[in-house]
A and B are shown apart, each in its own frame.
Chain A
Amino acid sequence: MLKGKNIPLAITFIVGLIMIISFFIPHKPFGDIEQISLRWYSIIAGFTMVLGVDSLLGLHFRKIKRKEENWIHSIFLIAGFVMVFIAGVWGTIQYGSAFDERSFFTYIYNYFIVPLQATMFSLLAFFVASAAYRAFRARNVDAALLLITAVIVMLGRVPVGELISPYLPKFTDWIMEVPQMAAKRGIGLGIYLGALGVSIRIILGIERSYLS
């Protein structure tokens, strides 16, 4: 009988099977069913944003209420969220799209979000340099090999490498296309075989941890 946990297991089995069949036989009726399932998926994906917003705001409202450490930052986050949300809605009403170049939303994007994101990402350069200095040590043969390869690739991937020797970029390309790719391919095959195994286990109802 279909009751309790059997219902989601049955849904998973049927939907999983339809998606597999429709990948190989994209004709009626599987193609249509797949299309409907994907539209549902798209709608659900849209709603995950609502869930995300609810979770984010809930967390920060609680922080403010309990006056937890750095609760003042949460006020900025909520104020920023409200401001960007209003700007987005207003831009859509006024110009048909929040991303119109005249909208205040685009101004916020260009002069707040872009520099902030770029700053966060560019900080990596400083951390990488500092980490390379402190942690990249030739402690054993493996580490020494990794270190030498990294130095060659770092030089070969920038124009200065060409100035040092025209063979350096070529050697770098060889490293990228042969040993690097062989290792990546091995790792990739392992990951995808693993993913395939887990997917089959989920479809067949053997793996049920997603229900808890």
Chain B
Amino acid sequence: MKIFEKLAHIDRRYIYILIAVVVIVPLLMKPNLPIIPTKPVEDIYNYVENLPQGSNILISIDYDAASMPEQQPFLEALLRQCFRNKLKPVMIVQWQLGAPLGTQGLEKIAKECNAVYGVDYINLGYRPGYVAQMVGIGREIRDYFSVDYKNVSVDSFPIMKNIHNYNDFELLVGLEAGSTYLLWVEYAGGRFKQKIALALNAVSAPDAYYFYQSKQIIGLVGGMKGSAEYEVLEKRPDLAVAGMASQSYSHILIILFIIFGNIAFFVEKNRKRKEGGK
């Protein structure tokens, strides 16, 4: 039984080493695991797929580098889908530290798809004040975004010619690491009836399920798994698909830790009870 006592008090550094191994090795080995798209993700994909050419999509970058592995692959897959279907992404940023990530993703995919800045897409950058913007866009987007992220007047770009408020966007996609999405649902959705799709970090995705069930959002991409599903739907497996193997094996390892931890707990509890009985 000493082995269980040892297990119960194992040095946490061994746990850390094992986690590092199960995260790193699958990233290098790239095992092929089945990724089956779920309905909340498919709903977004199908909605975007069926939009008429030339439709504008408002994309809000509400995450930063900490959530990059979960959100950036979805952003890139979504942008590929937009450009492939001749849809026009308009990017805004609510999290200041997410601005470069949004810009990098947009520029990377635009270059890959030969999209022209100001004609096929635009980056309006960051502005402070969530609620003010969300309500303000319902009236006139220029009240808050009169210039793009490089301080060039938005009226000098053809894409902005017919964009004034939510009525001119077929869809709002929020990529969310915090709780900004609650405000999008409340103001853009509740007040202006804007169609909304959300991509949330895995940790906060369960919080948004009831918006999906009540049809306040059209779909939900949850964490890296959701991003991987979107990459599969877009038929371009990329970073999220690669990351799912690591996530799979680390989940299994954590479950094994829980099982061993509980066995050790019960064995020790039993031993203490017997000792107490003596």
Contacts and interface: CB of A to CB of B under 8 A. Distances in A.
Interface of A: 23, 26, 31, 34-35, 38-39, 41-46, 48-49, 95-97, 99-101, 106, 109-110, 113-118, 120-121, 125-126, 128-130, 132-134, 136-138, 147, 150-151, 154-155, 157-160, 162-163, 169, 173, 176-177, 180-181, 184-185, 188
Contacts of A159: 33-35, 244-245, 248
B33 A160 contact: yes
Nearest to B130: A45
Nearest to B266: A138
Given A42-B132, A158-B248, A118 B66 contact: yes
A99 B132 contact: no
Interface size range of chain B in the complex = 35 or more
Interface of B: 10, 12, 15-16, 18-20, 23, 33-36, 38, 64-69, 97, 99-101, 103-104, 107, 125, 127-129, 131-133, 135-136, 138-139, 143-144, 149-152, 191, 202, 206-207, 209-210, 213, 223, 225, 244-245, 247-255, 257-258, 260-262, 265
A97 B34 CA distance: 42
Contact of A96 (B144, B150, B210, B254): B150
B178 to A, nearest CB: 13
A96 B249 CA distance: 45
B261 A132 contact: yes
Contact of B248 (A96, A110, A160): A160
User: By DSSP majority rule, is chain A's interface helix, strand, loop, or mixed?
Assistant: helix
B230 to A, nearest CB: 14
B65 A129 contact: no
Contact of A45 (B33, B128, B254): B128
Contact of B64 (A117, A130, A134, A158): A117
Contact of B16 (A35, A49, A130): A130
Nearest to B69: A118
Contacts of A114: 65, 68, 101
Nearest to B17: A126
Contact of A158 (B16, B151, B206, B244): B244
B134 to A, nearest CB: 9
Given A41-B132, A180-B206, A184-B210, A99 B64 contact: no
Contact of B128 (A46, A158, A176): A46
Contact of B206 (A38, A137, A150, A176): A176
Contacts of A188: 210
Given A129-B257, A157-B202, A157-B225, 17 more contacts: A42-B127, A42-B128, A45-B128, A97-B151, A114-B101, A115-B65, A125-B250, A126-B19, A133-B260, A137-B261, A138-B265, A157-B251, A159-B34, A160-B252, A162-B34, A163-B34, A169-B38
A198 B244 CA distance: 43
B150 A100 contact: yes
Nearest to B9: A134
